[in-house]
Amino acid sequence: MKNLLLLIPIFFCFSFASAGWIEQTSGVSTTLWSVSAVDDFVAWSCGDDGVVLRTTNSGVNWVQTSFPSSLVSLYTIEGIDANNALVAGLDGSDAKVYKTTDGGASWTVTFIQSGGFIDAIKGYKGFPGYYGLVGDPVGGRWTWFASTDYGTTWDSTGLYKPAASGEAGWNNSCFASSPTTWLWAGTNSTKLVQLFTNGTSADLPTTGVSNTYAVWANDNSRLMTGGDAGLLYSTDGGASFVNAGAIGSGDISAIVGGNTSTWYYSRGSSVYLSTNDGTNWSSDYTAGSGVYYHMSLSPRGRYIWAVRNNGGISRNNLDFPLPVELASFTAGVSGRDVSLNWTTVSEVDNAGFEIERAAVNEGSPLQYSKIGKVVGSGTTSEYRNYSFTDRSLATGKFAYRLKQIDYNGNFDYHYLAGEVVIGIPREFSLSQNYPNPFNPSTLIEFALPFDSKVELKLYDMSGRESAVIKSDFMSAGYHSVVFNSTGLPSGTYFYRLNAGDQSAVRKMTLLK
């Protein structure tokens, strides 16, 4: 359901701002309904008339992307990275989801629903590629769909919840939490709907607030929701609420949480702040014109972006002290090995770092996976140096990030600037298999400085061929092959690699 807030724009000839708030130049004057911060640098926004905006430099510049139709009103957006995003809106009577993989230069429709309205698209916390779609009821059931491929395809299997007559949701009134408690979504029927990743759900009464236009959780227990009659606060995940004593007038349109006890909400042309879980509130910023419709907090927690009904975009530099402050994060390449080095200025309750790597393939989202772990220094105000070596990579481009984890399981990401490139080897080589001796499998690595038909064969001590390990045309680069010895007796064998006019032989031992 489109969130038509009954607010009267207030116009001033000047703005009252705290030191952290600044106005950015969007280049448009249309209503901006939604904003999504990917990180401290990348954010996306959407609105009426097919407007989609993107910044890659923290809002220094906002660029309008090439959306296919100015007749489509866009009400919710979810940025994936600088190139990939999902946006949803109404094309006549059809609710549609559009996806871009090239920074908004082109868009593809990935979801269509006649007579529906898409309220929000959110990523599953901790599950790369998993996204959920929440929409108004159609045909007597709530519109819930899931995607496991970054929103390219959608499926509603196992996500069935009946809806009462007249029930609806609100655009952008949705918050995704932990992998277990997937999200909370606002409604027009005096309740939040809590959806779990196993497909079950719960109705959470919001007595006193019929239309829950906004919802945010600072963790799985501490939750705020607001709308047409003020603000509610819960310390038990929404099982019960108390009045949070919001100040100002009009509908509450958006909520974000800065850290465990800090909260912001927008109401009319102002943003309000509490640093003690809603016990006290103060006016933090008032825009010169327009009404706020949505806010988004960058995952690192440095910036809040807030968008208005006149194309206005405000940004707040929170500058919260992080549990771990990095002074540097660099990478070096030696052959097919990558050395990662980082230095911290200070640490608070730092359990350690998980190192994650993603292959960089043009046009595809980054899919990070854990490749190692380094223990942290707990709490310290002194510089600490860390390193990790990622060995024996194939030829290609790679991205790295650190997942810093505290003792309570909370985490934050630190990204390596730029890509790491493993190039083409200069010389032909065949490495010793590992492990050796082995049973039943072993890894064989080799380097090709040229494209070639490759034959990798196994021979016994008498010179008889025992197995064809690899026979294929392969491109220049570093390659790895896993050999399974099932069916072969114990003994000493030779493996030979032939490629073009090059050949190499090594010995391996199978012990069963």
User: Residues 57-104: pLDDT tens digits?
Assistant: 999 999 999 999 999 999 999 999 999 999 999 999 999 999 999 999
SS3 of residue 68 by DSSP: coil
SS3 of residue 224 by DSSP: strand
Q: What is the pLDDT of residues 177-226, one digit of tens each?
A: 755 457 899 999 999 999 887 778 999 999 999 999 999 998 778 899 99
Fold type of domain 81-307 = Methylamine Dehydrogenase; Chain H (2.130.10)
Which of 194, 193, 205, 277 minimizes the C-alpha distance to 235? Answer: 277
pLDDT at 1: 67
**Is the per-residue pLDDT at 408 higher than 90?**
no
pLDDT at 129: 86
Instruction: Identify how many contiguous H helices and E strands the chain contains and give both numbers.
Output: 0, 42
Which CATH number applies to 429-510?
Answer: 2.60.40.1930
Average pLDDT over residues 454-459: 97
pLDDT at 13: 30
**Is the per-residue pLDDT at 12 higher than 80?**
no
Q: Which residue has the higher pLDDT, 54 or 159?
A: 54
Split at pLDDT 50, 70, 90, the class of 9 is very low
Which of 219, 115, 118 minimizes the C-alpha distance to 171? Answer: 118
pLDDT at 63: 97
**Angle CA(307)–CA(363)–CA(107) in degrees, nearest 5?**
50
**Is the per-residue pLDDT at 354 higher than 90?**
yes
| For residue 440, cis peptide bond before it (omega within 30 degrees of 0) | yes
**Angle CA(214)–CA(219)–CA(225) in degrees, nearest 5?**
20
Give the distance, in angstroms, between the CA of residue 339 and the centroid of all CA atoms in the same chain: 25
**Is the per-residue pLDDT at 5 higher than 50?**
no
Same fold, 81-307 and 324-422: no
Which of 149, 113, 108, 118 minimizes the C-alpha distance to 131? Answer: 149
Question: CATH says 324-422 is which class?
Answer: mainly beta
Measured in Å, how far apart are the chain's first and last C-alpha atoms?
66
**Is the per-residue pLDDT at 11 higher than 70?**
no
Average pLDDT over residues 371-389: 93
- With 0-12 / 13-18 / 19 or more C-beta atoms within 10 angstroms meaning exposed / middle / buried, residue 275 is middle
Longest CA span, the chain: 93
Which of 213, 251, 126 minimizes the C-alpha distance to 176? Answer: 126
Q: What is the pLDDT of residues 467-502, one digit of tens each?
A: 999 999 999 989 999 999 999 999 999 999 999 999
pLDDT at 124: 78
Split at pLDDT 50, 70, 90, the class of 21 is very high
**Is the per-residue pLDDT at 364 higher than 90?**
no
Split at pLDDT 50, 70, 90, the class of 418 is confident
pLDDT at 358: 94
Q: How, if at all, do strands 52-55 and 43-47 pair?
A: antiparallel
Domain residue ranges in the chain: 81-307, 324-422, 429-510
Average pLDDT over residues 292-317: 92
**Is the per-residue pLDDT at 10 higher than 50?**
no
Share the mean pLDDT of the chain.
90
Distances, alpha carbon 367 to alpha carbons 97, 329, 382, in Å: 22, 20, 33
HSE-CB for 305 with a 13 A CA cutoff? 32
Split at pLDDT 50, 70, 90, the class of 14 is very low
Q: What is the pLDDT of residues 246-287, one digit of tens each?
A: 999 999 999 998 767 899 999 999 999 999 999 999 999 999
